[in-house]
Amino acid sequence: MNKTEVLQASRLFEGLIPDEIEMLCEITQKKAFKAGEVVFEQGDVGDSLYILVDGSVDVVRKRDDGSEHVIATLEAPDFFGEMSLIDKEYRSASIRARADISMLCLTNENLHSFARVYKNGFTLVVINIARVLSTRLRETNEKLAAKM
Amino acid sequence: MKALWLREVKEVLDREEVRSWWEKLDALDRRLAEARERHEELLAQASLVVHRAEMTQRKAIDTLYSAGELEDSAAQFLAEVAEIENKSYEAVANFESQRITVSDLYSRMGAMEHRYLTAKAELEAAGTDEAEDDERRAEQERALKRRQEDLSIQEKRLEEVNAAYQRENNRKLRLWEEVEQMWARSLNINLSVAERRAKSRRARREAEKQFKEAEAHKRSAESLTKEAAEANQQVEELKQQIKDHHRVIRELCDCVMGEEFIYWPRRENNKDAYCVPLRDHPSGYNIEIYARSVYLINRQRGVEFIEPLPPEGESREDDDRLDEFFRRGSEKAVGED
């Protein structure tokens, strides 16, 4: 896995300069999960964002009756867990590997290091997260409107 | 130990003796890893062989036990054969006695049959003469009637003797059948005795072989355990060598020596320190860290939170990416030239 290539390909780091990407390479950690393993559970306290390098994951939400419902499937180079970096709240859904996956993990604390060194780069990362959240919100709104 | 500038830390790490120190540490680490691997492998082999020795010994005991059982059952069979043969002598005697009885009956029956057939022929030949007087004729008729009655009695007796002969002859045949059955059973058991004795001998030989195998496994386990102890000794020696080697770097670099890192106070900021990992740690810390690379830590938190070095060189005051973003509008994404 070439970290630089992975990070450059991610929408999350669009617009970042090579020095910033280089630091991100240093502060992200490789993680691997086997098919069926859970990356995190709905309700866990989250402090990390994950960028998929290889494979795909299901975003699973539990209903009140305990049953599970797959609300989305993400594939490399998608990322997930970004909401916890913004609001530091509990995970809103579980993430389960569909096949063997490899990822890069960026913790809140490591992102803080990045922010202290590269203020503009950090702002761009936050803008990119906001853009993704905004896109997802628009899509949800459209779905709701279609149902009404 | 004095606080260093980053430049000075890099200079220290670039010194020939420091490079050599790390090379020696790498070599010691490799030897330690090999020694540990060998120790673990030998321990695993030793436990496996001990287990195998125990299994083989248990198997040998079981085999020996089964040999004993086979011998016992052969002896039991042999006793049974003797008993059957004794009974068969008795049965043969009974048969002989019955055979004599049947022969006797047969002789009697032959004699009676002969008498009966002679009397019957005589009776058929005899007629009443044409007697001149009535008295003589009546006398002749009475004699004839007596002879007929006598023949009838003879016939009845012959039938009784015949029936007795049939009954006793059947008994004689049954007695012989019993004798033959006893002999057949005796033969059968006798053959089994031989087979069981042979099996028992074979099982004993097998048990002896297994006991020898178990002993060989025990000797091999002892030898492996000894080798493992030697390998462990080597591991301990290498650990000590590494410990001693760690002390050298403290003197070479005038630094603080931890178990996994060396440290210098940071001259640029007295709240921070520079740290250099002695070995690679792709996981286990908040970032992936590599041996001989310099990282930054806060003095209070230490390596609980490690940061990469801040960039060197010119500041990016001319960075207009954000201005560009706000000028073009949020949907005109960043990254456009």
Q: Inter-chain contact B333–A124, Cβ cutoff 8 Å?
A: no
Domains held by chain A: number: 1
Q: What is the pLDDT, as a whole number, of residue B275?
A: 96
Q: Nearest-CA distance from A74 to chain B in Å? A: 22
Task: Residue A14: list chain B partners with CB under 8 A.
Answer: 333-335
Task: Residue B322: list chain A partners with CB under 8 A.
Answer: 120, 123-124
For the segment B174-185, the average pLDDT, to the nearest whole number, is 94
A2 vs A104: CA distance, rounded Å:
11
A113 in reach of chain B (CB within 8 A): yes
Quote the mean pLDDT of chain B. 90
Distances in whole angstroms, Cα of residue B247 to Cα of each of B24, B284, B308: 13, 24, 26
DSSP state letters, B79-142: HHHHHHHHHHHHHHHHHHHHHHHHHHHHHHHHHHHHHHHHHHHHHHH------SSHHHHHHHHH
Which among B287, B305, B330 has CB closest to A29? B287
Q: What burial letters (b/e) apply to A30-68, b meaning 16+ CB within 10 Å?
A: eeebeeeeebbebeeebebbbbbbebebbbbeeeeeeee
Q: At what angle do helices B16-125 and B6-14 cross, to 10 degrees?
A: 60
**Residue A129 covered by a domain:** yes
A15 in reach of chain B (CB within 8 A): yes
**Residue A143 covered by a domain:** no
**Residue A144 covered by a domain:** no
Q: What is the pLDDT of residues B151-174, one digit of tens each?
A: 899 999 999 999 999 999 999 999
**Residue A51 covered by a domain:** yes
Is residue A100 over pLDDT 80?
yes
Task: Residue B335: list chain A partners with CB under 8 A.
Answer: 14-15
**Residue A114 covered by a domain:** no
A58 vs A52: CA distance, rounded Å:
12
Instruction: State the Rg of chain A over Cα.
Output: 16
Q: Inter-chain contact B286–A124, Cβ cutoff 8 Å?
A: no
**Residue A66 covered by a domain:** yes
Collect all residues with Cβ–Cβ distance below 8 Å to B262 and sequence separation of at least 6: B249, B250, B253, B255, B256, B275, B276, B278
Q: What is the pLDDT, as a whole number, of residue B216?
A: 95
The pTM score is 0.64
**Residue A145 covered by a domain:** no
| CATH code of the domain in which A91 resides | 2.60.120.10
Q: What is the pLDDT, as a whole number, of residue B328?
A: 65
First to last CA, chain B: 50
For the segment B200-217, the average pLDDT, to the nearest whole number, is 95
By percentage, how much of chain B surpasses pLDDT 70?
93
Is residue A21 over pLDDT 70?
yes
Q: Inter-chain contact B311–A15, Cβ cutoff 8 Å?
A: no
Q: What is the pLDDT of residues B27-42, one digit of tens each?
A: 999 999 999 999 999 9
**Residue A31 covered by a domain:** yes
> In the block, which residue shows the tokens 């998608």?
A78
Give the residue numbers spanning the domain of A131: 3-108+119-138
Q: What is the pLDDT, as a whole number, of residue B335?
A: 44
For the segment A99-115, the average pLDDT, to the nearest whole number, is 92
Is residue B334 over pLDDT 70?
no
Q: Kindly state the DSSP code that residue A135 receives in the 8-state scheme.
A: H
Collect all residues with Cβ–Cβ distance below 8 Å to B189 and sequence separation of at least 6: B77, B80, B81, B84
| Ranges A107-111, B31-35, B103-107, B166-170: which has the least confidence | A107-111
> In the block, which residue shows the tokens 């973003």?
B325
Could you write out the three-class secondary structure of B255-293? CEECCCEEEEEECCCCCEEEEEECCCECCCCCCCECCCC
For the segment A58-86, the average pLDDT, to the nearest whole number, is 88
ipTM of predicted assembly, 2 dp: 0.77
Is residue B331 over pLDDT 60?
no
